[in-house]
Chains A and B, each alone.
Chain A
Amino acid sequence: MASVGHVTPQSMHFAEALPLQSGARLAAYDLVYETYGTLDAKHSNAVLVCHALNAGHHVAGTYAGQERIEGWWDNLVGPGKPLDTDRFFVVGVNNPGSCFGSTGPMHANPATGRPYGADFPVVTVEDWVDAQARLLDRLGIRRLAAVIGGSLGGMQALSWSLRHPERVGQCIAVATAPNLSAQNIAFNEVARRAIITDPDFHGGHFYAHGVVPKRGLRVARMIGHITYLSDDSMAEKFGREMRSAEFGYSTQDIEFQIESYLRHQGDKFSEYFDANTYLLITRALDYFDPARAQGGDLTRTFAVARPVRFLVVSFTTDWRFSPARGRQIVKALVDNRIDVSYAEIAAPHGHDAFLLDDARYHGVLRVCFERIAKELA
């Protein structure tokens, strides 16, 4: 299966402010996005790919001269791949508040001329969906053949089916949940405290000080990373493997390979991720709870999604967004007699499984997209 090859990100300016769930408004802003494949004459074959915490618009392919920077869902999106770019027009959008190009906390606040920093408005999953909808309007896409996302991206896909059910043919929600559990929020809070208490954070206005709260970002990434892997996959990958044959009897040096791995992941992350973005995105995760307006009744919440067809996928070893959470979504859909299929994939990789190429998982997605393509033809 081929890659989509070299791709070029594009940017769209929105002069009209975006009203946010908080009541605030995001003043004029830019969205960075990529597209793959060709939009058909009826504009009917568009598929929106929603990104999770640590990703953006670069879903598939590579950039010329940077062959190693492959899109984050390149194993899924491309010619002949399950989400086949020979049949579909695939759109990846970087959400506002992110740090990969679209307007975010590191950009200038038009009110002050200085970087937003901590003053960037708190954005929610719903706000992102609204921003994506505006972009699709500009691209001439009235209705999506499908919207797909994993984890936080899955929440956006679900939110699409609730906010714009008439614009979505198929909603594919992978490794996601109808809201975060207390345990999930707790992990997010540990990550945020690590960042906020880093002396280099400066209340979120660290840009002016020419520093980056890297220590906080590293710890945030380390704790996040632990929750993305399963106990089994960590045991298999690292076990109790040590750096050297003998104990060094040190409390501060790296002794175990898992420590080395986590520190490496933390270091890498702190080089490119923005601290304010991390706070914003984890908060968007915490806030996502579409049933809240219905007194927590998920069935009543999904009543509006009747026109949409659903595919929900969970992974058995994902303890961050466990199959029980996926089944809650399925139950709400079944209660509403909505078309839904549900796959519970016995993969060993924990939450990360949604990014990996598992034959059963990709098989289910492929069959789903083949059916959509057939219905479009």
Chain B
Amino acid sequence: MSERREIEIIAGLVPQGARVLDLGCGGGELLAYLRDVRGCSGYGIEIDDDNVLASARRGVNVIQLNLEEGLALFDDASFDVVLQLETLQHLRNTEKMLRETARVGRLGIVSFPNFAHWPNRLSVLRGRMPVTKALPYQWYDTPNIRVGTFSDFEVLAQRNGLHILDAFGLHNGQPVRRWPNLRASVAVFKFERS
């Protein structure tokens, strides 16, 4: 149930009744949760046919787009919150999408696998790329074309003029606030344009 718990934790960062854009919304689980539990509305963006169908089945608005093409569809600050959960690591234009997220949303929330989580460090020390629950792929077939750490993101955020409002780690469905760069398998950031 850690996935459900993670949805609840992320949803807790989203203000009640917010207008939300969920980039890479998967099967629309979070959007449906935000709608049902927090009275939110908005859209999900997905590229995958099956996920588009699953989102539609949950009754959430889903727009089939390739995020690599940017967010030209959306005006500046047109959403209260733009979510980019477990998506950034799949994108070639990571930095551009981060800037787009900050442009379109008053608040941005990003999560991604933290490569500096200690088992990953140990694995690399032993000379092998990590294969874990958060990074379940072999190096040669991973869709995660961007591997970064909790601390790396802080640098990238600063570089792009983002003001970090909250940052913590997640591990096994639990928030990790002490030494997240070492102790968390997933990094979570909430930010706004400064």
Residue numbers of A with Cβ under 8 A of B are 327, 330-331, 334-335, 337, 339-346, 360, 363-364, 367-368, 371
Q: Which of B56-64, B115-123, B159-167 contacts A (4 or more CB under 8 A)?
A: B56-64
In residues 138-169 of chain B, which contact A (Cβ within 8 Å)? none
A322 to chain B: closest CB distance in Å? Answer: 14
Chain B residues positioned under 8 Å from A343 (CB to CB): 52, 64
Answer whether residue B43 sits at the interface, using C-beta atoms and an 8 A cutoff.
yes
User: CA–CA, A364 to B48, complex, Å?
Assistant: 13
Asked if A364 and B65 sit within 8 Å, CB to CB, the answer is no
Chain B residues positioned under 8 Å from A367 (CB to CB): 53, 56-57
Answer whether residue B75 sits at the interface, using C-beta atoms and an 8 A cutoff.
yes
Contacts A327-B73, A330-B73, A334-B74 given; does A344 touch B64 at CB 8 Å: yes
Residue numbers of B with Cβ under 8 A of A are 19, 41, 43, 49, 52-53, 55-57, 59, 61-65, 73-75, 78
Asked if A360 and B74 sit within 8 Å, CB to CB, the answer is no
Asked if A341 and B75 sit within 8 Å, CB to CB, the answer is no
B34 to chain A: closest CB distance in Å? Answer: 15
A32 to chain B: closest CB distance in Å? Answer: 34
For B19, give the chain A residue with the smallest CB separation: A337
Beyond contacts A327-B73, A334-B43, A334-B74: 14 other A-B pairs, Cβ-Cβ < 8 A, are A341-B52, A341-B55, A342-B64, A343-B52, A343-B64, A344-B65, A360-B49, A364-B52, A364-B53, A367-B53, A367-B56, A367-B57, A368-B56, A371-B59
User: CA–CA, A331 to B62, complex, Å?
Assistant: 13
Instruction: Tell me whether chain B's interface is mostly helix, strand or loop, or mixed.
Output: mixed
Asked if A341 and B73 sit within 8 Å, CB to CB, the answer is no
Asked if A364 and B56 sit within 8 Å, CB to CB, the answer is yes
Chain A residues positioned under 8 Å from B19 (CB to CB): 337
Chain B residues positioned under 8 Å from A363 (CB to CB): 53
CB-contact partner of A341 in B49, B63, B74, B78, under 8 A: B63
User: CA–CA, A346 to B63, complex, Å?
Assistant: 14
For A313, give the chain B residue with the smallest CB separation: B64
Chain B residues positioned under 8 Å from A331 (CB to CB): 73
User: CA–CA, A342 to B66, complex, Å?
Assistant: 12
B5 to chain A: closest CB distance in Å? Answer: 28
Contacts A343-B52, A360-B49, A364-B52 given; does A330 touch B57 at CB 8 Å: no
Chain A residues positioned under 8 Å from B73 (CB to CB): 327, 330-331, 334
B125 to chain A: closest CB distance in Å? Answer: 43
Chain B residues positioned under 8 Å from A335 (CB to CB): 75, 78
Asked if B56 and A341 sit within 8 Å, CB to CB, the answer is yes
Give the top 6 A-B pairs by smallest Cβ distance, nearest first.
A342-B63, A367-B56, A344-B64, A360-B49, A331-B73, A341-B62
Chain B residues positioned under 8 Å from A360 (CB to CB): 49, 53
A267 to chain B: closest CB distance in Å? Answer: 38
A283 to chain B: closest CB distance in Å? Answer: 31
User: CA–CA, A359 to B76, complex, Å?
Assistant: 36
For A299, give the chain B residue with the smallest CB separation: B75
